[in-house]
Structures are given as C-alpha cells and as structure tokens.
Amino acid sequence: MATALSPRLLFLLTIAPLMWAGNAVVGRLAIDSIGPLWLNTVRWLLASAILLPLGWRALVSREARKQIVARWPYLAIIGLLGVGSYNALQYLALRTSTPVNVTLIASSLPVWSMMLGAVAYRVYPSRRQLIGATFSLIGVATVLSRGDAQSLLRIQFVEGDLLMLLATIGWAAYSWMLAKPPAHMRGDRRPNWNWAEFLLVQCLFGIVWTLIAAETGELLQPSSVPDWSWGLILAVVFIAVGPSVIAYRAWGLAVAEAGPAIAAIFINMTPLFAAILSTAVIGEWPRLYHGLAFSLIVAGILVSSGKRAS
C-alpha cells in the first residue's frame, strides 16, 4: 500500500536531504583544512558530546550496558555503515572525483535500496516506485548536467567514484537494517531507548571505526596538520549538529514511517539543494533548469507515494 505524505512526514523526508546538501557544500570547503578521515572523526566526536546529555541513560547502569553488549554485532554494523563509513568515503571521494560524479552516484540510492530490499528482504518495489525513481533520477540528472544532457556522456569514473558507490550501497544497507532490525531489536525485546540514546550508541560504535580508519590512513599516507580557524570550527559545528544529529533523527523517523524505498526517493533532493546552496555561496541565482529538476523530483515523489497531482 502506498504511503500517504502527511505534512509531518514531508518535513522529515525533506530536512535530512537539506542538511546533507549543506554537509556536501561545507564539507568540500573543510577538507582543504583538515583530512577527510579526521573531519569525519571530529564530526562524530562532537555529535556524541551533543547527544550525551540526551542519551546518557543508555550507558550508565549495568543493565543498560548489558543490553548494548548483548546486541553489539548489530550495533557495530550499523555504527560502521551509518556513522563510520558513509561520510568518510564521501569526503575521500571529493579529493579524487568531481562533485558532479559524487552527487550523481549518491543519487542512485533508490536503485540500490530497491535491489537490496528485493534480494535480502524480499520486499519488491511497486511499479509506482520504479516509475517514481526514474522521474527523480531524471530530475537529478538535469541538475547535474545544468540542463545539457550531453554533458552526462562526458563523465569519466575514477577512484573517488568507486568510493562513493561503496558509500551509497552501504547507506542503503543501513536504511534497511533500521527498517528491518533483528528480533532482539523489535517489539518487547528492543531496549527502551529514545532516539537520542539509540543514536548515541550508534555514534560510540561508529567512532571506534572512524578512529581506526583515521589512524590507519595517517600511517599509510600522513596528512598535514589541520589548519584550525574560526571558519573550520564553525564548519565542524554545523556538520556535527545539522547533518549529524538533526538529519539522522529525521531520517530515522522517516524510514520507520515511510519505508526505505520512499525515503530513498527523497534523497534525490540532496543534489538539488546542494546546487542551490552552492550557487548561493558563489553569488549565482538558481536557473530555469533548477525549477525543471525540482518539478521532476517532486513528480517522482508523488508517483512513488501514490499521490496524484490535482
């Protein structure tokens, strides 16, 4: 049955891609001053500090810690996929790939989500969802090509593109693991965690992965010392609060209510928002193709959700 888009659900599905678009723009500026892997580590350390006053109950008692230990394989995996790897791979990709390629590959999330759902969970996309995904991908391609379809034919894939592909597949798996958790994370067996407690636990497992990755990367290819400035500090604070805490909270609620396939369609709004934010930073107003792309993406969302334009 198609999911109806209430104003609340529409807000949840929109705020996450908006914040993640900001992450792409601000993150691209930040990696000039700090290594990509360390940027990801600092981001989640600060996000954990923000979450701690809201989620500390998940850590303090012996019973609470026993619940974490009993579920550590699942928590370690979602910590790796949702916190430890996606943005680290994205930041790394931006060093060797172009923003056009990275955003285009990330916009393939609905395809990977539908494929993974069919193979691993036997949840098959409807015809509406397939058509909606096609509309949305055409809209994304319109943004990426700046209205010139022939420019898409000149894209050449490099190492960064493969890293972003891996990140996108990992995010699809993360979304499905949230929507279809194992038995010990469902019903009466699920720990009585609120959203902040659950996200904090994910962060703690994810930070272990980010530290391992950052230290390993430093040994393999030493990077320069971070060039700390007020601009970099503000960038890290934004990344830790908006794309991390706010967006992850909204995404978790949206996936639980709408399902990963519908939520993945809304991810295609990320490059549209990123294009608008990027043009705002350099002083250019959005153009006609932005409006065309937005219309196509919205059409894909309405078709996928079963809504019809009046």
pLDDT at 72: 94
Contact 32, 225 (CB under 8 A): no
How far apart (Å, rounded) are the C-alpha atoms in residues 87 and 20?
10
Mean pLDDT of 206-216: 90
Q: Which carries the bigger pLDDT value, residue 218 or residue 269?
A: 269
pLDDT digits (tens, 9 = 90+) for 17-57: 899 888 888 888 888 889 899 999 999 999 999 999 999 99
pLDDT at 268: 72
Instruction: Indicate whether 236 belongs to any domain.
Output: yes
How far apart (Å, rounded) are the C-alpha atoms in residues 162 and 257?
31
The fraction of the chain above a pLDDT of 70, given in percent, is 84
pLDDT at 210: 92
pLDDT at 278: 76
Average pLDDT over all residues of the chain? 82
Mean pLDDT of 181-186: 89
Look up tokens 């500390």; give the residue: 56
pLDDT at 308: 45
HSE toward the beta carbon, residue 162, CA cutoff 13 A: 2
Range of 108-122, 135-149, 150-164, 198-212 with top mean pLDDT: 198-212
SS3 content of the chain, % helix, strand, coil (to 5): 80, 0, 20
Biggest CA–CA distance in the chain, Å, is 61
Instruction: Indicate whether 60 belongs to any domain.
Output: yes
How far apart (Å, rounded) are the C-alpha atoms in residues 163 and 93?
6
Contact 86, 251 (CB under 8 A): no
DSSP single-letter state for residue 225: P
Q: Dihedral through CA 239, CA 244, CA 249, CA 254, nearest 10?
A: 90
pLDDT at 309: 40
Instruction: Indicate whether 310 belongs to any domain.
Output: no
Mean pLDDT of 79-106: 82
Q: Which carries the bigger pLDDT value, residue 30 or residue 103?
A: 30
Identify the domain containing residue 90 by its residue range. 7-305
pLDDT at 232: 92
Mean pLDDT of 290-302: 74
pLDDT at 156: 61
Q: Provide the CA 239 distance to its chain's centre, in angstroms.
A: 12
Q: Which carries the bigger pLDDT value, residue 298 or residue 50?
A: 50
pLDDT at 76: 95
Given a cut of 70, is residue 102 above it in pLDDT?
A: yes
Given a cut of 70, is residue 2 above it in pLDDT?
A: no
pLDDT at 310: 40
The structure's pTM equals 0.79
Given a cut of 70, is residue 305 above it in pLDDT?
A: no
- Band of residue 220 on the pLDDT scale cut at 50, 70, 90: low
Given a cut of 80, is residue 243 above it in pLDDT?
A: yes
Contact 290, 271 (CB under 8 A): no
Instruction: Indicate whether 220 belongs to any domain.
Output: yes
pLDDT at 99: 66
How far apart (Å, rounded) are the C-alpha atoms in residues 132 and 136?
6
How far apart (Å, rounded) are the C-alpha atoms in residues 17 and 23?
9
SS3 for 108-122 is: CHHHHHHHHHHHHCC
Q: What's the number of domains the chain is made of?
A: 1
Contact 40, 209 (CB under 8 A): no
Nearest to 251 by CA among 78, 97, 91: 78
Instruction: Indicate whether 1 belongs to any domain.
Output: no
Burial grade of 123 (CB within 10 A; 0-12, 13-18, 19 or more): middle
Instruction: Indicate whether 136 belongs to any domain.
Output: yes
Q: Dihedral through CA 147, CA 268, CA 132, CA 297, nearest 10?
A: -50
Nearest to 110 by CA among 13, 246, 242: 13
Instruction: Indicate whether 2 belongs to any domain.
Output: no
Look up tokens 């659950």; give the residue: 198
Given a cut of 90, is residue 94 above it in pLDDT?
A: no
Given a cut of 60, is residue 247 above it in pLDDT?
A: yes
How far apart (Å, rounded) are the C-alpha atoms in residues 266 and 179?
16
- Band of residue 1 on the pLDDT scale cut at 50, 70, 90: very low
Q: Provide the CA 285 distance to its chain's centre, in angstroms.
A: 26
Instruction: Indicate whether 295 belongs to any domain.
Output: yes
What is the phi-psi region of residue 284: left when phi exceeds 0, alpha when psi lies from -120 to 50, beta otherwise? beta
pLDDT at 221: 66
Q: Provide the CA 161 distance to its chain's centre, in angstroms.
A: 16
pLDDT at 216: 85
